[in-house]
C-alpha cells in the first residue's frame, strides 16, 4: 500500500512520481497541456535534475524535489518575486520542523543557506505569450534533507549531514507548501514589501562578493535588494542594480 498523500492547502493539487527526469520539465509539459495554477509536481528522485545555468542538480532519493506550477496575474518581472516567496517558505518550513536549527540565511536571489552552506536551490522558469503576458511560472525547489552533492561550486550541505534529525520528503513537502501559501497570500495582498522585509532579516548582505552575470563577473559589496527584488552592489564606489545573476564568495 502506498503512503498517504501529503496534505496540501486548499486550491493546490499534487502530482506524485517515484522518479522523473526533472520536476521542472514535467511542470512545463503539464503547463503547456493546460494544468491549473497551483499544481505541485513532486518526485522522490530525478534522473535529469537541473540547477541554474543548466547545471545538473544532484537528485538521489532522500531529498525533496518539487516544482510549483503557478499562473500569477502579474508581469514576468514581478512574478519572479515568487522566488523570494519560495525561499521564505523553505526557511519557515525548516524552522517549523527542525528544533535548534543552525543559522539560516537567504542568499540573493533565491538560495537558502544553513551555517553558510547551501541547503536549498530554487529554479524559476517561465513562458510568456503576446505582449509579454505571463503564461506560467515554474518554481522548482531542491532541498537537501539527506545528502548534499559531493562537489558543488558553492559549498553545500544537507540536514542529515549537520547531524540534525532526518525529515521525510513528504513531511517537508507539506510544511513547505503550507508556508508557500502563507507567503504567497501576503505577496498577493500586500505586494513585495512584507516579503522583502522578512527576507532581509536573514539575508546575506553587507559583505564582499563575486557576482556572476550572463557575460561577466563583478566584484563588490552586497548592499541590499531594492523594492522590486534586484540586487544593489557597490562596485568601485558605484552602486549597480542587478536584476539577474549569481552570488559567490569574493575569493575562490
Q: Which of 31, 39, 67, 196 is close enough to bind ligand BTN by CB under 6 A?
A: 67
- Any contact of residue 107 with ligand BTN (CB under 6 A)? no
Binding of residue 245 to ligand BTN (CB under 6 A)? no
CA distance 95 to 179: 11
Q: Cβ closer to ligand BTN: 50 or 202?
A: 50
Backbone angles phi, psi at 45, to 5 degrees: -155, 160
Closest separation between CB of residue 138 and ligand BTN, Å?
8
User: Does residue number 83 form part of the binding site for ligand BTN (CB under 6 A)?
Assistant: no
List helix spans (H) across 45-168: 76-79, 82-97
- Complex with ligand BTN: residue 123 or 177, whichever CB lies closer: 123
HSE, side-chain direction, 13 A CA sphere, residue 233? 26
Three-state DSSP at 127 gives: strand
Residues 181-200 that bind ligand BTN (CB under 6 A): none
Q: Hunting for cell 553587507 — which residue is that?
A: 206
Grid coordinates representing 222 are 552586497
Tell me: does residue 39 bind ligand BTN (CB under 6 A): no
Task: Indicate the residue among 154 and 186 with the shorter CB distance to ligand BTN.
Answer: 154
How many of the chain's residues bind ligand BTN (CB under 6 A)? 19
Contacts 24+ apart (CB under 8 A), 212-218: 212/245, 212/246, 212/247, 212/248, 213/242, 213/244, 213/245, 214/244, 214/245, 218/242, 218/245
Interface positions, 139-178, toward ligand BTN (CB under 6 A): 140-142
Is the Cα torsion angle 195, 196, 200, 203 positive or negative in sign?
positive
Segment contacting ligand BTN (CB under 6 A): 17-25, 29-37, 76-84, 145-153? 17-25
Stretch of residues binding ligand BTN (CB under 6 A), selected from 60-68, 86-94, 184-192, 230-238: 60-68
Place of cell 525533496: 64
Q: According to CB under 6 A, which one of 8, 86, 90, 123 is a site residue for ligand BTN?
A: 123
Which residues form the interface with ligand BTN (CB under 6 A)?
Answer: 22-24, 46, 49-52, 55, 57, 65-67, 121-123, 140-142
Amino acid at each position: 500500500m502506498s503512503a498517504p498523500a501529503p496534505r496540501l492547502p486548499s486550491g493546490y493539487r499534487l502530482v506524485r512520481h517515484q522518479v522523473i527526469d526533472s520536476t521542472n520539465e514535467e511542470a512545463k509539459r503539464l503547463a503547456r497541456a493546460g494544468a491549473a495554477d497551483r499544481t505541485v509536481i513532486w518526485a522522490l528522485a530525478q534522473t535529469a535534475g537541473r540547477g541554474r545555468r543548466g547545471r545538473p542538480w544532484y537528485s538521489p532519493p532522500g531529498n525533496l524535489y518539487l516544482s510549483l506550477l503557478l499562473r500569477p496575474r502579474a508581469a514576468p518581472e514581478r512574478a519572479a518575486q515568487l522566488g523570494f516567496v519560495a525561499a521564505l517558505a523553505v526557511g519557515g518550513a525548516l524552522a517549523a520542523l527542525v528544533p535548534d536549527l543552525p543559522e539560516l540565511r537567504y542568499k540573493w536571489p533565491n538560495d537558502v543557506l544553513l551555517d553558510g552552506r547551501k541547503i536549498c536551490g530554487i529554479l524559476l522558469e517561465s513562458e510568456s505569450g503576446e505582449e509579454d503576458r505571463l503564461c506560467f511560472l515554474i518554481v522548482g525547489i531542491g532541498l537537501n534533507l539527506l545528502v548534499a552533492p559531493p562537489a558543488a561550486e558553492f559549498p553545500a550541505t544537507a540536514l542529515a549531514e549537520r547531524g540534525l534529525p532526518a525529515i521525510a520528503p513528504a513531511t517537508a513537502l507539506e510544511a513547505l507548501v503550507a508556508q508557500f501559501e502563507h507567503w504567497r497570500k501576503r505577496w498577493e495582498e500586500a505586494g513585495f514589501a512584507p516579503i522583502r522585509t522578512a527576507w532581509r532579516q536573514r539575508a546575506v548582505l553587507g559583505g564582499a562578493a563575486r557576482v556572476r552575470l550572463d557575460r561577466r563577473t563583478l566584484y563588490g559589496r552586497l548592499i541590499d535588494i531594492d523594492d522590486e527584488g534586484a540586487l544593489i552592489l557597490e562596485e568601485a564606489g558605484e552602486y549597480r542594480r542587478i536584476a539577474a545573476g549569481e552570488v559567490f564568495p569574493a575569493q575562490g
